[in-house]
Structure 1
Amino acid sequence: MTIQPVAPRHLLTVAEYLEIGEIELGYSELVEGRLLMSPSPAFDHNNAALELAVALRARLPEGLRVVTDLDVDLQLVPPDGPGTVRRPDLLVATEEARLRVRHEGGVLRASEVILVVEIVSPGSARTDHVLKRSEYADAGIPHYWMVDPAEPVSLLACHQAGEFGYADDGVVTGTFTATEPFPVEVDLRSLR
């Protein structure tokens, strides 16, 4: 038997969101205290995330970890306020963060994340390019990449630019090369 979640009568804190637990058939995020349900990603979406994770893992400096599909508390409000928890398709966080979560429980904190990656789906383009770009920048996450698996596969790499949020150098197809947050070269065609 599947238990359907009941809509709360108030805006949720991060702690209250975590008490709900995992919800079947898709995943959930918390946006300003509101529960957001999303369908499970499609095959090409998951394949792009996996291939990128494998490519990044080979290039990560010591002390960093790449992982897919984990909740991140964006820490945009105090713990007793209506929180925002996003679940990027891929992220790079510190080893210390992994150990903290293992020992304390909870979720990753934005302050522990170096890079978030969203794989753009037909229904998520505006959310990824506008809402999440703004939220991740406000949360202080240094780097945000958006990968569009449609032909030709493309990547838009954003980085913190002070009070202006994220800046970017434009969409890349073919081979993506970066020096920050760590040196990496990715053949984007391998993500299809």
Structure 2
Amino acid sequence: MSVMEWPHHLLSLEDWIDLPETPEYQVEAVEGVLVVSPRPLFLHQRAVNRLTYWLDERLPVGYSALSEVEVVVAEKPLTVRVPDVIVVENTVVHANPAHCDAADVRLAIEVISPGSRRTDRVTKFSEYAEAGIDHYWIVDLDPPVSLVRYRLIEEDYEDFGEQSGHAELEFEGTPLEFDLNALTPDAPRS
């Protein structure tokens, strides 16, 4: 096993851009500190893929759902997160940036995985709110599969309810209905 050389100082956005690709790890920056974690397991990735596809097919015209996009939450000190799913306007997608500014993210979704529960429910919750991301959804794959929706109201997220089973959601005035159980391994694809 080889050891990669990482910066020994707080990262700037320029340092982040210069980092080598690391397909075997998920890499984020939190207040200038590099955070490296294992890539999500297969069942987590399948749930993210299903959720991204489902959402992208049902969003209002002018929006796209994407997975594993680097989002610059803050430049100083640098915080870069990689939400499981984001929703942005198509103009952002067509610009084809290397990373996305939090100001462009309309919805961030995290699917809880082993080791991410506190980060998703506490740390990212406050980071995304401070960055002004309008909607934040947290999906928990533990039975019963559930989704909690938050909406930014005056700089703080308000809880808009938890749903399990058949979820009736809304984004930008468009109703979205989804069987959350379809995210689990043995669920039929719809």
Task: Tell me the TM-score normalised to structure 2 length.
Answer: 0.90
Q: CA deviation at 1:122?
A: 2.1
Distance (Å, rounded) in 2 between the aligned partners of 1:95 and 1:146: 23
Distance (Å, rounded) in 2 between the aligned partners of 1:119 and 1:51: 12
- 1:180 and 1:60, CA in 2 relative to 1: closer, same or farther beyond 3 A? closer
Aligned to 1:127: 119
- Is 1:186 matched up with 2:185? no
Structure 1: where are the runs of 5+ without partners? none
Q: Partner of 1:73: helix, strand, or coil?
A: strand
Deviations 1:15-47 (A, max 9, x none): 211210321312100111010001011111111
Structure 2: where are the runs of 5+ without partners? 185-190
Q: CA deviation at 1:58?
A: 1.9
1:24 corresponds to which letter in structure 2?
P
Q: CA deviation at 1:7?
A: 3.3
1:19-34 residue pairs with structure 2 within 5 A?
A: 19-34=18-33
Q: CA deviation at 1:62?
A: 1.5
Distance (Å, rounded) in 1 between the aligned partners of 2:175 and 2:13: 34
1:79-94 residue pairs with structure 2 within 5 A?
A: 81-94=76-89
Distance (Å, rounded) in 2 between the aligned partners of 1:21 and 1:85: 15
Distance (Å, rounded) in 1 between the aligned partners of 2:20 and 2:104: 22
2:145 to 150, 153, 156: 153
Aligned to 2:168: 177
Distance (Å, rounded) in 2 between the aligned partners of 1:170 and 1:177: 11
Aligned-pair Cα RMSD in Å? 1.5
More strand per residue: 1 or 2? 2
Q: CA deviation at 1:138?
A: 0.6
Distance (Å, rounded) in 2 between the aligned partners of 1:3 and 1:23: 12
- 1:3 and 1:63, CA in 2 relative to 1: closer, same or farther beyond 3 A? farther
Distance (Å, rounded) in 1 between the aligned partners of 2:2 and 2:17: 16
2:103 corresponds to which letter in structure 1?
S
Of all paired residues, the percent bearing the same amino acid is 38
- Is 1:144 matched up with 2:139? no
Q: CA deviation at 1:82?
A: 2.5
